[in-house]
């Protein structure tokens, strides 16, 4: 019997801007809790058969967001482990409404830490050009929505992955036992 046989939703959903640690921390927490990990950007890439940047280039952001809404809804319905959402997924009102039924962790990060983590990563289509400026804009635009959908807020700035894994796993286990 797995740790998730008794629940009908993910053990937690992780949200945050690019560079907050959603994927790397999500994998570690899932491993610690002995559950599956799902990254919705990877699920989108698998379903469409191309990378997120290629979807943005060939289909446009509006089509990407439409696909993302469907994939996120399926993940929230079907996954039982840790689910990491793409940074902008929470901006969709339908997605935000679905998150009301979830244990959601917002990984809050400083601008300098996020910029250092993403660097000049061209695999992040919304960060092309002035990375720091784009990140600041995304943070300003999305922070209130992240806060509104979140059960917990974890500040990732200046913390090691081990410390963050311990903190997040503890929060999720506490929520499961509540």
What distance in Å separates the CA atoms of residue 143 and residue 67, rounded to the nearest whole number?
23
What distance in Å separates the CA atoms of residue 68 and residue 20, rounded to the nearest whole number?
19
pTM: predicted TM-score of the whole model, two decimal places: 0.86
pLDDT digits (tens, 9 = 90+) for 4-42: 444 678 999 999 988 888 999 999 999 999 999 999 999
- Predicted local confidence at residue 152, as pLDDT: 95
Domain 12-177 superfamily per CATH: P-loop containing nucleotide triphosphate hydrolases (3.40.50.300)
What distance in Å separates the CA atoms of residue 126 and residue 135, rounded to the nearest whole number?
9
pLDDT digits (tens, 9 = 90+) for 87-119: 899 999 999 999 998 999 999 987 767 767 665
* Most confident residue range from 51-55, 89-93, 174-178: 89-93
**6 contacts 77 by C-beta, under 8 angstroms:** no
């Amino acid at each position: 019997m797995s740790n998730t046989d008794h629940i009908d939703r993910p053990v937690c959903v992780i949200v945050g801007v690019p560079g907050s640690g959603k994927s790397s921390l999500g994998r570690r927490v899932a491993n610690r809790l002995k559950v599956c990990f799902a990254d919705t950007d990877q699920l989108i890439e698998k379903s469409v058969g191309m990378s997120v940047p290629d979807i943005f280039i060939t289909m446009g952001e509006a089509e990407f967001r439409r696909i993302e809404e469907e994939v996120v809804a399926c993940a929230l319905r079907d996954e039982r482990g840790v689910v990491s959402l793409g940074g902008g997924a929470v901006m969709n009102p339908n997605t935000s409404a679905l998150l009301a039924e979830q244990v959601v962790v917002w990984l809050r990060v400083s601008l300098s830490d996020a910029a250092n983590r993403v660097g000049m990563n061209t695999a992040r289509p919304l960060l092309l050009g002035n990375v720091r400026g784009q990140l600041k804009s995304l943070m300003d635009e999305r922070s209130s929505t992240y806060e509104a959908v979140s059960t917990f807020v974890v500040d990732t700035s200046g913390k090691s992955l081990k410390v963050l894994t311990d903190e997040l796993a503890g929060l999720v286990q506490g929520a499961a036992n509540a």
